[in-house]
Chains A and B, each alone.
Chain A
Amino acid sequence: MAECHICTKDLNVWYHDEQALKKITLEIPPRGITAIIGPSGCGKSTLLKSLNRLLEETEGVRVTGQVLIDDVDIYGPGVDVTEVRTRIGMLAPKPFPLPMSIYDNVAYGPRIHRQRLFLKQGRPRTKGNGSILDQVVQDHLQVAGLWDEVKDRLRSPASRLSTGQQQRLCLARALAVEPEALLCDEPTSALDPISAQRIEKQLQALKADMTIVVVTHILRQARRLADYVVFMWLGELVEAGPAAQVFNSPRDERTGNYLAGITG
């Protein structure tokens, strides 16, 4: 991998006294889908959450090492954590719509960021924002493949959508902030196969323009989606490389055993 969008250098994470990630040095290339695979409890989600600093919302977490996004350490001094999370979006395993309408869910991110922008610049809100926001909401609901199903009930509570629709809403919500990368933590684990397939399709459509990192313990899903694969085992990064290489000729015995179904 020549260029690298998100890199980690000697990343260590502890939950209280237990070390969850051990000296992870990783390069995630720009665009395309990088799949992080490995058995449960190997640190996949921890690694993912360390990339947008959501990890520090968990109690008793300690992080050392670096996470570089475009060569800037997001754990460095003076880094605005909200800016990091604005640039690096996230899709959680179980969809959690915000307690508001479908429209407001998608508009949530754009609204808070516009507010903050205006607070900084001291400019009054320009008129006609409503229609711009309407367009933003529509665009992203369309990209997430949800628009046709909800266009007539944008003001109804998001909680009334089905789980599969909710996950697509969460996708639209994340995209509305216009992140440069999207972290997906087992994004289809709570979904039925049809809904899961739709999410996968949308991710594949998005990968031309953004860096997508998918944590999954479904090997078949990783095979379908991944351009690059990262294999983790008990908090260690065992192997990383282009999907074809890792799947077809793994260099490490542990990767081979896992892929062959002998372990994990």
Chain B
Amino acid sequence: MSRRRAEETIAKVLMIGATVTVLGSLVLILGTIVWRGLPALNLEMLTQTPKGGYYLGKEGGILNAIVGSFYLAGGGTLLALVISLPIALYLQIYAARTRRAELARLALDVLWGIPSIVYGAFGFIIMLAVGMRASLLGGIITLALLELPIIVRGMDEAITLVPNALREASLALGATRLETAIKVVIRQTAPALLTAVLLAFGRGIGDAASVLFTAGYTDRLPDSLLSPAASLPLAVFFQLGTPFPAVRERAYAAALVLTVIVLAISLISRRLAGRLTKHVIR
């Protein structure tokens, strides 16, 4: 009896330890960013592009990176979504448990595991081949590739959980598979689909390596799809590498902005998902 109780205690301590480690890391990360970044954060940082002497710690802000990041991740997520939804529906509605679908899933899982720098290098090679320069469009396409497997697999898993009886309820009324997919399956899985998309957006907006070669970096706001675009992760990267403390502080400010954006997105998605669950059948 005492041995079993000891085991129980050990297990409990291990679990609490693991939880504390994770929550502790989160607090440490957030704390560091806030502590280092907040002093450098002001309205100028958020509303101005880099001005003269910016990289020496003088005038200007990171608006170029904020706007660039939203364009890049927003465009990339939108593009990935447009391609992903048909793939996810096809895998579930028409291909279901066929070998073709399993092969596609395997491919997507492999794609998911590929490091983003490889996507960046791949995008760069393609762009060189077609004579394209580092640009917003290049970054968007590369990010879309990076986000695609995340969205498809997320949606795929969500749609798998739709009860068969629910699909049959629609089919039994004389609906086609397509009608069932669009009118029933998408509504039933809406919260999970949204979560998959925002997860991918979060990955996209935080990724530095894939946009390094493909979108480049600039002090200006992108004015067309073909002009280069800055991004927050690269703003952090470049500014942390300078010898000037004032500029390094700005890197933390950029990191803080990035973190706040990701946090806001996940809070908003929770609210939205909650609203979408209204009709979901359990």
Contacts and interface: CB of A to CB of B under 8 A. Distances in A.
B84 interface: no
Contacts of B167: 57
B170 interface: yes
Interface centre among B184, B188, B281 (most CB of A within 10 A): B281
Interface string B165-199: 11111111111100100011001100000000000
Given A54-B168, A99-B188, 18 more contacts: A54-B171, A57-B164, A59-B96, A59-B97, A82-B176, A85-B174, A89-B172, A92-B169, A96-B166, A96-B169, A96-B281, A97-B169, A99-B184, A108-B183, A109-B174, A113-B174, A159-B280, A177-B173
Interface residues of A, number: 29
B4 interface: no
Contacts of B164: 57
Nearest to A83: B174
A173 B173 contact: yes
Interface residues of B, number: 26
A86 interface: yes
Contact of A100 (B165, B176, B187): B187
B174 A86 contact: yes
A98 B170 contact: yes
B168 A92 contact: yes
B278 interface: yes
Contact of A99 (B97, B168, B281): B281
A99 B279 contact: yes
B3 interface: no
Contact of A159 (B172, B173, B184, B281): B281
A187 to B, nearest CB: 13
A101 B279 contact: yes
A100 B279 contact: yes
B115 interface: no
A244 interface: no
Interface string B254-282: 00000000000000000000000011111
A174 B184 CA distance: 16
A112 interface: yes
B163 A82 contact: no
**Residue from A85, A97, A98, A112 whose CB has the most chain B CB atoms within 10 Å:** A98
A83 to B, nearest CB: 7
Interface of B: 96-97, 163-176, 179, 183-184, 187-188, 278-282
A96 B183 contact: no
Contacts of A54: 168, 171-172
B281 A98 contact: yes
A177 B175 CA distance: 11
Contacts of B179: 112
A59 B164 CA distance: 11
B111 to A, nearest CB: 27
Given A157-B278, A157-B279, A159-B280, A112 B187 contact: no
21 contacts: A54-B171, A82-B174, A85-B172, A86-B173, A89-B172, A96-B165, A96-B166, A96-B281, A97-B169, A98-B183, A99-B166, A100-B279, A108-B175, A109-B174, A109-B175, A112-B174, A157-B279, A158-B279, A159-B280, A159-B281, A170-B169
A179 to B, nearest CB: 9
A14 B176 CA distance: 24
A159 B174 contact: no
Contacts of B170: 98, 108
A90 B173 CA distance: 8
A259 B167 CA distance: 35
A112 B173 contact: yes
A98 B172 contact: no
Nearest to B163: A96
A57 B188 CA distance: 19
